[in-house]
Amino acid sequence: MPNQKKMKLNKKQKKQIELGIILFALFLSFLLWNSFLIYPIKLFVVLTHEMSHGIFAILSGGKLHSLLLTSSLSGESRTIGGNKFIIASAGYLGSLIFGVLLFISGYKEKLRKVFSTILAILLILFAANYLEGGFGRISAVLFALIFILFPIYLPQIANAYFYKILGIISMAYVAIDIKEDILTNIYRPSDAQFIAEITSISPIVWGVLWMFISLAAIFLLLRWGYSQLQK
């Protein structure tokens, strides 16, 4: 029998395969956007969105009274005082930052462990102190358990892809959420509407700006991730 040679992928091929997997997961998420498979990711993004309002309220000198999270993927943060512009902007910015950190953590094992611990602690603290209703509290605790257990029990390569895919879909959800808030004919209260009331600048301007920031972040991180894979 002729000798069989094992095919060894070079660095470029590894990069292309990894990028393909991430893009395929992102494309598949769009196809299944309203399915139960994507629902937990959307729920996670709504939760981090509302948590970000609360975190920035506290950082800007105000207080967080409570958070509400519903099964229909709506959320509300009730804050007192603080900088209104910063608090209103924090939802889009904060959930985008969470997505960025998740994606980067997929490439950095040490960062992944640190970020997982911080995120789990934040989720538990919010569940214990600010979230109203059983649905929100249970959701936060379940997500906290995921970020505690996955780094321990999942193989590192599977855990890394989990963070990369969760991060990229989270960032995509931010852009889609903005589009649904502003660039449709259906009016509904949104962060962009609140920012517009504070600044007297059209909510469409703010919506387009935040959508551009979200899409630019996705493009730059995919490009950065493509450059990170080593042999």
pTM for the model: 0.87
Structural domain that includes position 190: 36-63+83-225
Q: Please list the residues that pair with 79 across neighbouring strands.
A: 64
- The answer to the question of residue 97 being in a domain is yes
- The answer to the question of residue 149 being in a domain is yes
Least confident of 37-46, 98-107, 218-227: 218-227
Determine whether 73 is exposed, middle or buried from the number of CB atoms within 10 Å of its CB (0-12, 13-18, 19+): middle
- The answer to the question of residue 8 being in a domain is no
Least confident of 135-139, 163-167, 178-182: 178-182
Direct distance between the N- and C-terminal alpha carbons of the chain, in angstroms, rounded to an integer? 31
Q: Which DSSP helix (H) or strand (E) runs through 43?
A: helix 39-59
Model pLDDT for residues 20-43, shown as the tens digit of each residue: 888 888 888 888 888 888 999 999
Is residue 170 classed as helix, strand or coil in its secondary structure? helix
Most confident residue range from 4-18, 168-182, 191-205: 191-205
Q: Is the pLDDT of residue 187 over 60?
A: no
- The answer to the question of residue 9 being in a domain is no
Q: Is the pLDDT of residue 229 over 90?
A: no
Structural domain count of the chain: 1
- The answer to the question of residue 212 being in a domain is yes
Higher pLDDT, 229 or 2: 229
- The answer to the question of residue 15 being in a domain is no
Higher pLDDT, 139 or 1: 139
- The answer to the question of residue 195 being in a domain is yes
- The answer to the question of residue 20 being in a domain is no
Q: Is the pLDDT of residue 164 over 60?
A: yes
Give me the sheet containing 131-132, strands edge to edge.
75-80, 63-69, 131-132
